[in-house]
Structure 1
Amino acid sequence: MTAPMTNAEQVLTLARSRPPTLGGARLVCVDGPAGSGKTTLAAELATLAGGAAVVHMDDLYEGWGGLGRVEDQLQTLLRPLAEGFSGSYRRWDWPGNAWAETVLVPPAPLLVLEGVGSGSTAHADLTTVLAWVEVPFELRMARGLERDGDAAADHWRQWARDERDLFTRERTRERADVVLDGRVGSLHA
């Protein structure tokens, strides 16, 4: 009897079973609420795929209030890649609270776009697989405050409201190809 596939194995298998959607490449968007385990899944996907390119949405937001303004960054990243050219985005420097360098992302066979808003309908035509990762709110908050400290609690609560509004408007969970429990390795379809 073989062991069940991990979440990362299941997502990668699904992506590889579908035709390329990002030019000659595949785009896996790992979306879901903050603190749900998206970064962990993205890292596992990159390793499993032999070094897939990973872009973290945290680098694209203009700070805590930037969720609603991230779409322009996604356009300059994804649309050129769909045409076979390098995409780019401006990296947000969280400690400096300012825009930093422009990051160039060359075409690669697999791009994993990880973070809140990665599954935007504005680029759904380029998405090979939309994976939704979730855990209960209390666990998400505990993970976030462990990472960012108690001083970030108000930011985390506002972010939770902002992302909830985004997910409702975009119907992200409903459009997801797979829904994953970020506490365990099981897949829910």
Structure 2
Amino acid sequence: MSSAPSRSSQDAVGNSLGIAVDRIIAAIEQVAASNPVVLIDGRSGAGKTSLARALVARWPLRGRVQLVALDSIYPGWDGLDDGVELARELILTPHAKGFVGVWQRWDWTVGEPAEAHAVDPSLPLIVEGSGALTPTTARLADVRVWLESPTASRKERALARDGETYRPHWDRWARQEQRHVTRDDPMSLASLVFPVP
């Protein structure tokens, strides 16, 4: 018996994310701003990255949209909270104030900051990653998304994606996600909540 996800389970996830994109697009259009901010949160393997990429591909406004993945910012395997704080300080707050934000990519191989990236405040912005929705960041976003997915499904997808690199750190990261969920209650901060099988 294969351990690979079945086609029907992949289709179910794809269908759920497709519905989510449709509803997020409608919410973005209702904001009626040229540079809306979308935050996408959920535990590891919930589908945040897939959803963000699908949203970029179908972005409803003219011009380009900027996408920042918190995976590029977290400073290591114990860095969920620090990564979210960096995103708030260096990306979301400057964007809200009309200033250019500058953040550094975290190089997971060498364990230190790498090249810098700029965020244009005149352009729309999507920030996706575990921990993205907090009481502080929620105030800086126009559309706030939470993805809810069962642990077994999430773990299967996450480990299929990142393989043996992630496996030894799954529990360590899950504890940080649980701390975030308990402390920040991101589902209650979301303007849109989507179940993902």
Please, what TM-score do these two structures have when normalized by structure 2? 0.82
The answer to whether structure 1 residue 97 and structure 2 residue 111 are counterparts is yes
Which residue pairs with 2:68 in the alignment? 55
Assess, with a 3 A threshold, how the Cα gap between structure 1 residues 151 and 114 changes in structure 2: closer, same or farther. Answer: closer
CA contact (8 A) 1:74 1:89 kept: no
Q: RMSD over aligned Cα, in angstroms?
A: 1.8
CA deviation string 1:44-66 (max 9, x = no partner): 11111164211001011001111
Which residue pairs with 1:160 in the alignment? 174
Q: CA deviation at 1:161?
A: 1.3
The answer to whether structure 1 residue 27 and structure 2 residue 37 are counterparts is yes
CA contact (8 A) 2:138 2:189 kept: no
Find the partner of 2:54 among 44, 61, 72. 44
Q: Tell me the percent identity.
A: 33
What is the CA–CA distance in structure 2 between the aligned matches of 1:84 and 1:18, rounded to whole Å?
Answer: 17
What is the CA–CA distance in structure 2 between the aligned matches of 1:163 and 1:129, rounded to whole Å?
Answer: 21
The answer to whether structure 1 residue 10 and structure 2 residue 16 are counterparts is no
Which residue pairs with 2:152 in the alignment? 138
Which residue pairs with 1:124 in the alignment? 138
Task: Give the stretch that moved more between structures: 135-144 or 27-36.
Answer: 135-144
User: Would you identify which runs of 4 or more consecutive aligned residues in structure 1 move more than 4 Å?
Assistant: none
1:62 partner SS: coil
Find the partner of 2:99 among 85, 98, 109. 85
What is the CA–CA distance in structure 2 between the aligned matches of 1:151 and 1:53, rounded to whole Å?
Answer: 28
How many residue pairs match? The answer is 176
Please, what TM-score do these two structures have when normalized by structure 1? 0.85
Q: CA deviation at 1:152?
A: 2.7
What is the CA–CA distance in structure 1 between the aligned matches of 2:81 and 2:93, rounded to whole Å?
Answer: 19
5+ unaligned residues in a row in structure 1: which ranges?
A: 184-189
5+ unaligned residues in a row in structure 2: which ranges?
A: 1-17
